[in-house]
Structure 1
Amino acid sequence: MTRGPLLYVCVRPQVGAAAAEYESFRKATRLDETRLAEHDLVREPLPADAFDVYSGFLVGGSPFNTTDPESTKTDPQRRLEADLARIAERSAAAETAALFTCYGIGVVTRTLGGEVSRAFPEDTGPTAVSLTEGGRADPVFGELATRFTALTAHKEGSAQPPPGGVLLATNDACPVQAYRIGDRLYATQFHPEPTTKAFTERMAVYRDDGYFAAHDYERIAGEVLAASVTEPVRLLRAFARRFGPAD
């Protein structure tokens, strides 16, 4: 049976940052526009036929936080979190495939009965990530080096995966860097898609959003540009080969 295209799901209010993120996912997966579609979930609900049309979903990052008090969440954030929860539930039930990144991992964890808190933030920039035994045996993560550098910038995290989750990657600052539910739902705390240059451009968009001191931009950007982040994109390519359209 021929698999349909994958769908990049945008959850960033900033249009320019969202467009750049889509391009990063497209280049990382090596899929063209016909094989990696895009949908702006901030402005439009998930299409009713999404689970019929698309073979899987790639969920990008966002300045939103799962742990934001409900009273402060906007209507678009509440709506998109409900749609992301639907994707999480369907992929956990093996009815589709999905890879959630950064903000998305919090939505998945909460949806599937885990705990998300502000106890495990990571500074903006490169961080060392190690595969677990489960990660080394995983069909997607098993292609990566057992220890690699990834890019992070987040204010929340988890101490352990939700019930039934297989921990795939970890580090000391944020114990849950990646996990799998079943065999079709993946979630990463780090950003697997951007090049270092693309990440610094994203940093410029969010330099006043509390991820780092604005006056430290040049220093942190220099650290990012000096980092080697060859491994994270490999997991996106492996995910696309496994669940996306055939070449």
Structure 2
Amino acid sequence: MKTALALYHIDFEKLGTLEPVLAERGYQLEYINACTADLTRIDASEPELLIILGGPMGVDDGDLYPFMKTELELVKRRLESGKPLLGICLGAQFIARAAGAAVKPSGVKEIGFVPIKLTPEGEASPLAALKDTPVLHWHGDAFAIPDQAVHLASTDICATQAFSLGDNVLALQFHLEADPQHIERWLVGHNCEISGAGIDPRDIRRQAGQATGLAAKAREVLSAWLNQLGPGSLA
């Protein structure tokens, strides 16, 4: 059986709507809490698929949260292996930084369900099903597009929402995995952040109620990406 290793940072920010797809495709999924596990014991090239999920920290917070320096090195080794790597939000920022691109505060919190705009390359990518689809955004930092990467999507607030590096690496600033039916976990878990940003949780709750069909499109995107995976190397 193929293995998928997912590193998470918050209990309610796991693979959500994407998890069933991995089971259907024959992956044995293992979650590891990146905050508490010994990441030096992970062989970056061993799992068939490595997934780095979201979290409230920034990629430059390694002095405050030392495990993040180890996690960044793990992502670098995974990129060098050329094996499949998926990053969501903080995970995508790790990939950008590991690939040599800048990651920094954008000056604004993008929180809520907002449609993404696909680039021409994005329309021809596994993200095609998401054209003009509202997806969940929850970030204040933004990444630059690494050299040799393909820019796939944007929003009015954040021009860099997704990129790919070859067929095997996909980085998503937005939360494709988030289930709108479980948005209350996010509203409670990130209460301090949305309060500080002056965001009314009732607005996000209403947006979630209108995000019909998002889960099906998310599964379609992951399936399309899994279909294109190959052995290649970025090294």
Bin of the TM-score, shorter chain as denominator length: 0.7 to 0.9
State whether residues 114 and 163 of structure 1, in contact with CA within 8 Å, keep that contact through their aligned partners in structure 2. Answer: yes
Q: TM-score, normalised by structure 2?
A: 0.83
Q: Does 1:78 align with 2:69?
A: yes
Q: Does 1:118 align with 2:105?
A: yes
- Between the aligned partners of 1:214 and 1:201, the Cα distance in structure 2 is 18
Where structure 2 has 5 or more consecutive residues not aligned to the other structure, the ranges are 231-235
State whether residues 64 and 77 of structure 1, in contact with CA within 8 Å, keep that contact through their aligned partners in structure 2. Answer: no
Q: Which secondary structure state, in structure 2, belongs to the residue aligned with residue 109 of structure 1? A: helix
Q: Which of 133, 142, 153 in structure 1 is aligned with 2:138?
A: 153
What letter is aligned with 1:17? F
- Between the aligned partners of 1:101 and 1:215, the Cα distance in structure 2 is 22
Cα deviation code 1:143-180 (max 9, x no counterpart): x143221110101003x411111011112211111101
- Between the aligned partners of 1:48 and 1:178, the Cα distance in structure 2 is 26
Aligned counterparts, 1:1-247, within 5 A: 4-10=2-8, 12=9, 14=10, 16-18=11-13, 21-27=14-20, 29-31=22-24, 35-44=28-37, 45=39, 47-52=41-46, 54-68=47-61, 70-71=62-63, 73-90=64-81, 94=82, 96-119=83-106, 121-138=108-125, 140-142=126-128, 144-158=129-143, 160-209=144-193, 213=197, 216-228=200-212, 229-230=214-215, 231-243=217-229
Closer/same/farther in 2, CA of residues 166 and 31 from structure 1, 3 Å limit: same
Residue 39 of structure 1 and its aligned partner are, at CA, apart by 2.0
Closer/same/farther in 2, CA of residues 27 and 214 from structure 1, 3 Å limit: farther
Residue 215 of structure 1 and its aligned partner are, at CA, apart by 7.3
Closer/same/farther in 2, CA of residues 31 and 120 from structure 1, 3 Å limit: farther
State whether residues 28 and 193 of structure 1, in contact with CA within 8 Å, keep that contact through their aligned partners in structure 2. Answer: no
Q: TM-score, normalised by structure 1?
A: 0.79
- Between the aligned partners of 2:106 and 2:138, the Cα distance in structure 1 is 14
State whether residues 22 and 38 of structure 1, in contact with CA within 8 Å, keep that contact through their aligned partners in structure 2. Answer: no
- Between the aligned partners of 1:31 and 1:211, the Cα distance in structure 2 is 39
Residue 24 of structure 1 and its aligned partner are, at CA, apart by 3.9
Residue 7 of structure 1 and its aligned partner are, at CA, apart by 1.7
Where structure 1 has 5 or more consecutive residues not aligned to the other structure, the ranges are none
Q: Which secondary structure state, in structure 1, belongs to the residue aligned with residue 104 of structure 2? A: coil
Closer/same/farther in 2, CA of residues 219 and 23 from structure 1, 3 Å limit: closer
Residue 135 of structure 1 and its aligned partner are, at CA, apart by 1.4
- Between the aligned partners of 1:145 and 1:62, the Cα distance in structure 2 is 23
Percent identity between the two aligned chains: 19
Q: Which secondary structure state, in structure 2, belongs to the residue aligned with residue 162 of structure 1? A: coil
- Between the aligned partners of 1:109 and 1:163, the Cα distance in structure 2 is 10
Closer/same/farther in 2, CA of residues 64 and 40 from structure 1, 3 Å limit: same
- Between the aligned partners of 1:146 and 1:220, the Cα distance in structure 2 is 20
- Between the aligned partners of 2:33 and 2:149, the Cα distance in structure 1 is 28
Q: Which secondary structure state, in structure 1, belongs to the residue aligned with residue 164 of structure 2? A: strand
Structure with the larger strand share: 2
- Between the aligned partners of 2:184 and 2:97, the Cα distance in structure 1 is 29
Closer/same/farther in 2, CA of residues 153 and 60 from structure 1, 3 Å limit: same
Cα deviation code 1:188-226 (max 9, x no counterpart): 000111110223312311111357557722332222222
What letter is aligned with 1:65? G
